[in-house]
Amino acid sequence: MLILVGFVIAFLIGLTGVGAGTMTAPILILFLGLPPGVAVGTALLFGTLVKLPAASIYLWNRQVDFPTVRLMLAGGLPGVMIGTLLFQGLRHRGNAVLFLVGAIVILSAFANLVSTLRRRRGVERPRLIPPATLLIGMEVGFSSAGAGALGTLLLFHTTNLTPAKVVGTDLLFGLLLAAVGGGLRVWLGQVSPEVLLPMLAGGMLGSTLGAYAVTLVPRRPLKVGLLLWLLFIGIQLLYRGAGHG
């Protein structure tokens, strides 16, 4: 079952560009019953590893803008550390954590939905990138969500990169953030190897197939449907966090 879950999530990541944390952590919390901290840590490590095949393809095709990656990391790396520490301060307040994770999932999914439906090209605003990615990094450290959805939206509104370079640049940024955040979670003991390893067994294959399937499957309708599903998942987390679940 976990192998199939990992395959499906990673396939959709490769196909749509939706962040691993936005999907993985809610599934681990809602359907597998993992504590929020362990779910976030496991999702971060899963996201790091399953993004490697897709990131390699974008790097090979020179679809990553490294100056922009450096600007994003200038804010994102401190942010992911702050977000992890913030989570530690709230870890004994289970309902509050669920509520905040749900809010972040909804924000990430909605931002990516807007970005998908309204492809407006941005103007060059590089100074806005580090402070914006500081907030994105905090979300990633706290909930594992945000890098894929909000990073893509940010790049469309602050750069004139091509769509392929936007995806490739944000994918590498998200991978590096997840690696740092996942490493911190390993140090804190907030990772479940029993869940992670089977998911990776399916996820590595799913990510590779998803990246190659982009040219074969209507990407936009699938992405819109997936993001609407993520909005529903976020609402469920909010509901549970409010003490109704």
* Nearest CA-CA partner of 174 in 32, 29, 31, 23: 23
Q: What is the pLDDT of residue 120?
A: 56
Q: What is the pLDDT of residue 245?
A: 55
Q: What is the pLDDT of residue 122?
A: 52
Residue 220, domain extent:
2-244
% helix, strand, coil for the chain, step of 5: 80, 0, 20
Residue 18 phi/psi, 5-degree rounding, is: -65, 140
The reported pLDDT for the residue numbered 180 is: 93
What pTM did the predictor assign? 0.78
Report helix angle 36-60 to 20-30, nearest 10: 150
Q: Are 13 and 50 in contact (CB under 8 A)?
A: yes
CA 77 to chain centre: 15
The number of distinct structural domains making up the chain is: 1
Tell me the pLDDT of the chain (245 aa) as tens digits: 889 999 988 888 777 666 677 778 888 888 888 988 898 889 999 988 988 887 888 898 888 999 999 999 999 999 999 988 888 776 666 567 668 777 877 877 787 777 767 655 556 788 999 999 998 898 888 877 767 767 877 887 788 887 778 878 988 998 899 899 999 989 988 899 999 999 999 998 988 888 777 667 676 776 677 678 778 877 877 877 776 55
Residue 13 CA to residue 5 CA, distance in Å, equals: 12
One-letter amino acid identity for 180? V
| pLDDT given at position 130 | 95
Distance between CA atoms of residues 160 and 121, nearest Å: 7
